[in-house]
Structure 1
């Protein structure tokens, strides 16, 4: 208060003085302006030049002129520091020699405790021109061999417009040049560069890297012409051989669906050459400088009249239109082409530089009966360009689709899981095998095996396409997977992708959703839940069609094997573990002293010990005087599937040993009995052996005389201390499973 009073007094007393000063300053300023409107030349002083050896800050341009950091450098901005730091500095070249004798380089220091994905970015003066030159080369100095150096290009106004490429260092403690190959589709999109050194690797200790001389060069980096070859194989087919007639595909080679092809290029074709290349483990047809080429099946003409579509995967860097013609000899042979039936379909190729999957309805080939196909003709616009082809086959809609749920026991489906991320960036072993541990919650016949060999990438895993988009809108947004892990505490990442979205820098779809769940058990089956809404970019309107599993995500492979089964939408079904937050477990109590409901609730586990350390359990209170038949019931979302066994096991916590627990399940569609309850049911009693601790109580449903696996039981009911009047006790239940 005292200070405020003084300020008010001062403001009041000096006001006339301030007005006088203001008048004098105004007059002086006016006079100066009138006399000195144009200052003399000597008044201008050039800004001082940089100190010798000092760089200026300037956004670079990626071009054929190297960005060499000798006189200027961009403004660097780091991210992912966490408990460490990322320090980027222009320094004198500490190891001048070999391929890099320049004076200055950029030093990148990671201090211990940074995120595995820590890095930095800098803006460019203009968008990168990939119309002719498509390879960015960077000189790198790394302390270790095999470190992941990732270059990511972005639009600085929209980070969703991006592409990233990764290369591994091949030498330690010396300079080498790494090449990052982009495509024509990347032209004029990116004006920000992001760099990651030892991307996703351990950052537990201080490390130092250097880089220099960023240059944009021609084609694939060797100066030998425009980039024009895929680095990954075409997508693997998912149809069974029964629904396919294959002209060319490793997936169907040697099967009954493989057609006999006389030749993949005729003598009347116009092109430079036709060869076969191994790309991403797939044999691939290569048509160089293609104008048009004929494929002949005259020895055994193809009858595709029972098929509905023709599929082909096309990769080209410079073809805008790809044409396909089929020639049906109409049952009379070539016959001088007098009664042959043919029709050509044009297909736009956009974008170039990535695999395009074409599925063309046979009805588009107007008038062709497809009962006597002897020739197929392919052509390219513009002519004289190179085309890569794979998976040429006719197909029809299968009677059964490879969609969710996926349980690996349907012999009519082909489960095409593809592993990736081994120590050499190749595939890790995956297979559908006999269940190695048919016990607990999973006694089904077949499961998915994923091996993660020693040294596998932190992102190693396996993927499979599904036939139709996953219907999250109508089936819920949480998925469950049964998992068998050799250790508890292992992070399992589930990812799903929209395969039609533009590829990211690694060639993967850029639209996806991914969620991590962690195993809680070792060497036994458990069910993990993945709430897809926890991923910010998830939407039920997106057509997710690829499913991917990453065992022990974020960690280098330790030579372990994981098993997976029953990938399906979460629902109220066996097993019931009460842990899926997106589900509502509607248990209803009944049988209190006044014939009303007894208290039931899903609560936090009051005794997370022994065999049950899970988070939530079912609490059933049986107040004093409650009916001898008091209990709690819950409906299931579907009838019980006894494929998993006919014995129910429930974890029970009872205040006393020797307490009878009745388990009952009902067919709610059966006629009501005298009390209004379903008349078709099965009920079995088990008895507790432990007081004030968790135990597993077993209920063999086959011990009930009228039990049948053909009956659709959908209600589950538990009766604590069945047959005795309530004594004011509380019971807990968890992990209802079906087994044998």
Structure 2
């Protein structure tokens, strides 16, 4: 019926065409006389993208209609009028495509044409794989290709491997069970029979890495021996003391070379970015044996760094420390070299046999107990400190005296406000503080004046028992001796308790500020057997110092300065005094000065101030405040009894509540506005606690 309809359509088309001519010819016998379609053919156009899309175009003479049978599972043909084409998606294979041509009178001719659909093999196969940065037994892989539909990877570590499928853009990984060389294959599939294969060899190794412990069963500790020495991994023959591990390294030094030793090449460059102190456990045959630890560049032996340490015990394990803090981290190093008794020819005997183990990097040299004073000058004394919070301390030479050894501490950029350094492991005996001997001193070479330096002492067995105090630098780039009085503890810290033991000290440079890379030199940490007047702002205030300023802060219209004594007579013949000129507008105009540490009111609670007043009956308000909490204060007011002469005023602070008071405030004639004249000019001196 469908064919009849199509033929009728074709006939109607012919009739319409004939109706357009002026002379109507009703004779249709020529239609019946038409012959069957002849010279049938079919053209196939197969796309080259492995989709299986085929364009089919039938041709022939005398055919007005074509039926195309695709030859696959599709049973219903598609009908095309002459000149038309059809498309169809095929799977890869061989097909018999049948074309039936129909003439206008219903006559037909058939043609069967073979169609071969084969997909092209994938092209431009790129496989990206790498050993995992964390797990040396893990391989990460991905792939790309043109004309592929899927991938499979064959890792090569099991027989009859089915392969792991994955798609482009997908990452896959595999963990090998053991070291070895494995044939890795990646197959790119086209969607048909054509494939493209990538093959490579993956070498799974367990490289030597820092720390070197000799405990891995898969690591090949392949020593390179030289000069007559032989190093090997062996079971630990001395499982005792600080080393109970199962395996160690052993070096036997023979002749002929005095530099005989061995090296290990590690997997990758040694990371010195944070840790620059090597530690190694060594079992030496004798006291005084020397162990050289050296690192070298992989390809250039001229790039190296080395340190030598002498054994202090014989036939026992000790943990040696090699200070690499001055290594040039701009270079790369991947060889670890060990030479025992450099300069001496070995004989291969027990006297030239060393055990070594646990080669590791740390950020701290070992510390030892010290005896005050700490001078950094004595040979064979371990003056190492423990840095924390972002400080870095190293031995250094006095910047003004090349013969003097000091410590140099850098408060690195971004270091914590509380960054500091603990001196050694503590002191061999407690600091001998008493009620009248409460001070220590440190010589400091500071980059700037006005920087706070805090010193903390504590019980090394109980750090809850501590006391802290501060001094302030008075000069830049010159040596000065800072005095720390623990009788005046820092704001917010515990008071000194003479019943406690203090046998450890820590120093904090530029305390309270983050690090900016400032460098401090320091020396001669000393306990003072006799208290002295500290060289920073503290009580008593006598205004005689020429090394540091008296930074008054004025308010309300008053101005305080240090001037020459206008009347050096009577009870005050000193050369320098303080002066306040009270101007307008505020009746509460005055000045204050901040001390480095809070005032110690534990025992003494009476203030005395020498005053030179312009008139009898002038009032002086003496007030103390907490610098971080001005709401915590105490004040007393006393009236002058003489004019234009020195007198000593006494202020009773016996009822002052506990607090941290380090600000001293002076207000003359509170409640009266000053005019800045001589009648409102006051002199004061020797502010002391009694």
TM value normalised by structure 1? 0.28
Q: Using CA pairs below 8 Å that are at least 6 residues apart, which structure has the higher relative contact order?
A: 1
More helix, by proportion: 1
After TM superposition, the score normalised by the length of structure 2 is 0.30
